[in-house]
Amino acid sequence: MSDRISKGVAESFATSEFLGEVGGMAAMGTKTTPAPLIPQKRQSFRRWFVDKGWRHVVAWAAIVFAVFPLLYILSVSLNPIGSLTGSNQLFRAFDLSNYERLFTDPAIPYARWYGNSLLIAIVTSVVTVLLCAMGAYAFSRMRFRGRRFGLMTLLVLQMFPQLLAITAIFLLMIQISDVFPAIGLGTHAGLIMIYLGGALGVNTFLMYGFFNTVPTAIDEAAKIDGAGHARVFFTIMLPLVVPILIVIGLLTFIGIIGEFAIASVILTDPNQQTVAIGLFQLISGFQSQNWGIFCAGAVLAALPVMVFFLVSQKYIAGGLVSGSVK
């Protein structure tokens, strides 16, 4: 779902301004004006507050706003009462029964959902990365008729989310089911194919820009040494653009894990469904009863994504900065 926004972030990661500073959040202090080594000793509280103190106040307010819903679901997930009403006193209990039910209740095949989500997201992101890298390589390193037109088309197409054509996708999948049931309606393979249709449009442009920053001198040298195009692509270009491959892969992964609308139309069998659909159905109509289990499921679903996201930020920045030519 968050393709567009994610892409925006990656773009700003890729722009040099962003890189210099925010991308390397870890290296924040070093880049900006160095702090005066000896603070003014007689600084009054008033002056400190006007200069910096209020910033701490605002920051703490923002953090409370940002974090309390997250703490809330963590608290609910650990509360054995498990209903909406009984969940309002934070961190009163520590009990894993909600998590237990997630994996033992046969009516809630959470492990299946989780596996499905992982499978779909991993396959989609790996193939997306490969397809986009191939596309970007062609656009960046070759000159051919229709190249400019192709780039322009991709740029325009990325404005139109696939979701807009969901009725047509649904009917098309019904027809595919008639010929190839294995990749038709209700199959993971079919859903992955649909996601791959959106892959090139959203990401190739970003990757194209990154490929352009790798000097052609490198692949020309390899070419002179007798490497074929496939060898140049797989053994020289790809290793040089690993950071952007990881960025695109992660962003695709996060986007696909959270995709609800298309998946809900294509996957109808409960055992085939993803975490997003499963959790949605778990509390649609039964919000109060299943609240604790839902929160447990949400914690497990959100944790890896959030860790990925926060870790990758540093990695992305570091990778982009280090560059390819020594």
Q: Which of residues 160-199 bind another protein (CB under 8 A)?
A: 160-172, 178-181, 193-194, 196-199
- Per-residue buried b or exposed e for 260-291, using 16+ beta carbons within 10 Å of the residue's own CB: eebbbbbbeeeebbbbbbbbeebbeeeeeebb
Cβ–Cβ < 8 Å for 112, 271: yes
Q: Check residue 84 for interaction with another protein (CB under 8 A).
A: yes
Please give the structure tokens belonging to residue 28: 């924040």
Quick one: residue 91, left, alpha or beta (phi over 0 = left, psi -120 to 50 = alpha)?
Answer: left
Q: Check residue 152 for interaction with another protein (CB under 8 A).
A: yes
Q: Check residue 8 for interaction with another protein (CB under 8 A).
A: yes
Q: Pattern 194-233, binding to another protein, x per CB under 8 A?
A: x-xxxxxx--x-------xxxxxx-xx--x----xxxx-x
Q: Check residue 79 for interaction with another protein (CB under 8 A).
A: no
Q: Check residue 49 for interaction with another protein (CB under 8 A).
A: no
What is the footprint of another protein within residues 302-321 (CB under 8 A)? Answer: 302, 305-306, 309-310
Q: Site for another protein (CB under 8 A): which residue of 91, 104, 115, 148?
A: 148
What is the footprint of another protein within residues 104-133 (CB under 8 A)? Answer: 131-132
Residue 188 belongs to what H/E stretch? helix 188-197
Q: Check residue 12 for interaction with another protein (CB under 8 A).
A: yes
Number of residues binding to another protein, judged by CB under 8 A = 133
Residue range at the interface with another protein (CB under 8 A); choices 12-20, 106-114, 244-252, 318-326: 12-20
Give, in order, the Cα–Cα distances in Å from 270 to each of 95, 182, 263. Answer: 28, 17, 12
- The residue among 230, 202, 208 whose CA lies nearest residue 147 is 208
